[in-house]
Structure 1
Amino acid sequence: MSVSPGSAVADPPSGGSVPAGQPPRRPFWTRRRRDQLAGFAFITPQLLGSAVFVLLPIALVFRYSLYEWNVLAGDFTYTGGDNYTQLLDDANLPEVLKSTALFSVGLVVLNLSLALLLAVLLNQRLRGMTVFRTLFFSPVVVSLVAWTIVWGFLLQNNGGINGLLHTVGIDGPNWLRGEGTAMLSVIVVQVFKNVGLNMVLFLAALQGVPKELYEAARVDGAGAWVRFRSITLPLISPTILLTSVITIVGSLQVFAQIAVLTQGGPKLSTTVLVYYLYQQAFQFHHFGYGATLSILLLLIVLALTVLQWQMRKRWVFYES
């Protein structure tokens, strides 16, 4: 059989010939499908972990919120929406939410402000900056419980803080037992514990800002504050978004500091939502109501995260 120049003849697939008038069948395992299979194989462990350790517990919490579970008596009684009715009628809940909001706002403002200030100061090319960076970051890797216990001794009525104040003639308050100082003390302890993490993130963002922009601004006569406001803040705004989301979510999940330092007191001044649901579930054995409070916490975290994500287009660089 002769073949004219320029024409092509498709080789039939192995195992048989292609009938006349029909295009050749493509193999099932194409390169695209092999790549898709490899991708699914890589993400399957993460998906399974999320399903088992995140989605399943959330579903169980929703289920438990419809029951009253007395572990000691072995009773598991369906109550419908009674726990949600109790949530609306809980006289302590407004004070708990107020304490939660106060702790979150104070922690976020102080943490982000101090972390950004430290990052700007430690971004200078001076001798010994590596030592200071290590010192400010070191509390992040310290055990949370050990850190909190040490600060508990320092903040006692006869502790180290009041001892230092006494040397200069000042009688310090009972930091952890005063209604006006207990929340402030817990916030300060938590800020000093985690400020180093945000400081490192801000420091990495600052080092990524092009130096040419600062030089051009100096040539135009811009001062330090104008350069910081017009160049630094816009260019590190994605990192500010990241740190704000992490810090807000972390502030709503605080537990160990409250449990070790104040146990929620005095009264309800430091009883945040996580500690309150712990009390309801594991101290008073109201597991159904504790699950309902967990759902409330989940909704608050979800709402704040979505709100920040939606507002990013107004102030985050690259998002406008």
Structure 2
Amino acid sequence: MTGRPVTGGRAAGRTGAAGPVRRVSGNGGGGAFWTVRRRDNLVGYLLVAPQLLGSLLFVLLPLGLVLWYSLHEWNVLAGTFEFVGGENYDRLLADPNLGEVLGGTALFSAGLVVLNLGLALVLAVLLNQRLRGTTFFRTVFFSPVVVSLVAWTIVWQFLLQDDGGLNGLLAVAGADGPNWLRGEGTAMLSVVVVQVLKNVGLNMVLFLAALQGVPAQLYEAAELDGAGAWTRFLRITVPLISPTILLTSIITVVGSLQVFAQIAVLTQGGPGMSTTVLVYYLYQQAFQFHHFGYGATLSVLLFAIVALLTVVQWRMRRRWVFNET
């Protein structure tokens, strides 16, 4: 039996039923410009516009102005703003204090990164166990993160004085404690420890979240094969949480290079210049000695160091971060 041929109207109707056709109304040919895809793109641009505008105004523009100021000598007291070209950079290379400042910055950053990441990982491993009271200790270790930085530092300033609370506890035990913030051998150590105790809780939480994402079946299989606890940690835990280790290391390194409030409150860069880091030295040159052009030059140096270390860490991820290609 032969079927009746489908008329043009029915064929068109069935063809249209295969998928709705969106039409954009408009007069003449102008309406065809506002297609659905272009409207979606416009909505996307409008949604990201605030972030782009904020980055332009508060990141890119200040960076450009710092570079511009580094080519000038700006005397606020005299009201002069003179173009000096590369003189500030020549002064940077000839600065006799720069080597000591960079050395102190490197010492502070290295001590902070090693102690912070190491202690955070140990605490995360301990608090990842199913034991009573772990929630309480998680709260205790994380609580300094939300405390005001200046308030935290002022409290530790009183504790670390010659007649402060820490030496009082040592005296009860029969020991004579040093003046922690005035000794050249203890000042930098004191600042590093105060900063570690302030922020170790943040990295601890990040490590704890990463540890809870490691499949328990891997540990069970390794244990059946005779692997000890240390072997399981090195061969299973560390590789699987290596992306988090990369993230925390970048955050900690960048944060260590930007430390200011702790130095300003605890030691003011002393004794001598033993705790003068780059940011505090920048502050001294710009806002205490009113060398704003040279301060901007130090800012450019700080930006270059942070950018270089971040790029190096990011490039090294392919070697030691698990599942990176």
> Structure 2 residue aligned with 1:271, among 256, 271, 276?
276
Q: CA deviation at 1:33?
A: 1.9
Q: CA deviation at 1:14?
A: 7.5
Q: Is 1:44–2:68 an aligned residue pair?
A: no
Q: Is 1:81–2:91 an aligned residue pair?
A: no
Secondary structure of the corresponding residue to residue 73 of structure 2: strand
Secondary structure of the corresponding residue to residue 82 of structure 2: strand
Q: CA deviation at 1:16?
A: 9.8
Counterpart CA distance in 2 for 1:122 and 1:13 is: 59
Q: CA deviation at 1:37?
A: 1.4
Partner in structure 2 of residue 67 of structure 1 = 72
Secondary structure of the corresponding residue to residue 74 of structure 2: strand
Q: Is 1:205–2:220 an aligned residue pair?
A: no
> Structure 2 residue aligned with 1:316, among 313, 316, 321?
321
> Structure 2 residue aligned with 1:145, among 142, 150, 169?
150
C-alpha deviations, 1:38-84, integer Å up to 9, x for none?
A: 21111100000000001000000001001111111111111111100
Moved over 2 A (4+): 2-17, 24-32
Secondary structure of the corresponding residue to residue 254 of structure 1: coil
Q: CA deviation at 1:188?
A: 0.1
Partner in structure 2 of residue 20 of structure 1 = none
Partner in structure 1 of residue 141 of structure 2 = 136
Partner in structure 2 of residue 303 of structure 1 = 308
Secondary structure of the corresponding residue to residue 205 of structure 2: helix
Counterpart CA distance in 2 for 1:133 and 1:37 is: 45
Count of aligned pairs between the two proteins? 313
Counterpart CA distance in 1 for 2:106 and 2:26 is: 72
Partner in structure 2 of residue 195 of structure 1 = 200
Q: CA deviation at 1:167?
A: 1.4
One-letter amino acid of the counterpart of residue 61, structure 2: L
> Structure 1 residue aligned with 2:119, among 114, 120, 132?
114
Counterpart CA distance in 2 for 1:63 and 1:29 is: 43
Q: Is 1:237–2:222 an aligned residue pair?
A: no
Partner in structure 1 of residue 4 of structure 2 = none
Q: CA deviation at 1:15?
A: 8.2
CA contact 2:243–2:321 (8 Å) conserved in 1: yes
Partner in structure 2 of residue 254 of structure 1 = 259
C-alpha deviations, 1:159-186, integer Å up to 9, x for none?
A: 1111111112211111101111100000
One-letter amino acid of the counterpart of residue 103, structure 2: K
Structure 1: segments with no counterpart, 5+ residues = 18-23
Counterpart CA distance in 1 for 2:318 and 2:26 is: 58
Partner in structure 2 of residue 21 of structure 1 = none
CA contact 2:25–2:31 (8 Å) conserved in 1: no
> Structure 2 residue aligned with 1:168, among 169, 173, 177?
173
Counterpart CA distance in 1 for 2:259 and 2:239 is: 30
Partner in structure 1 of residue 220 of structure 2 = 215
Q: Is 1:155–2:160 an aligned residue pair?
A: yes
Taking a change above 3 Å as real, the CA distance of residues 291 and 217 of structure 1, as seen in their structure-2 partners, is: same
Partner in structure 2 of residue 179 of structure 1 = 184
One-letter amino acid of the counterpart of residue 197, structure 2: F
TM-score (norm: length of structure 1): 0.93
One-letter amino acid of the counterpart of residue 214, structure 1: Y
Secondary structure of the corresponding residue to residue 27 of structure 1: helix
Counterpart CA distance in 1 for 2:8 and 2:108 is: 84
Secondary structure of the corresponding residue to residue 176 of structure 1: coil
CA contact 2:160–2:181 (8 Å) conserved in 1: yes
C-alpha deviations, 1:247-302, integer Å up to 9, x for none?
A: 00000000000000000001110000000000000000000000000000000000
Q: CA deviation at 1:35?
A: 2.1
Counterpart CA distance in 1 for 2:9 and 2:253 is: 74
Q: Which moved more, 1:307-316 or 1:27-36?
A: 27-36
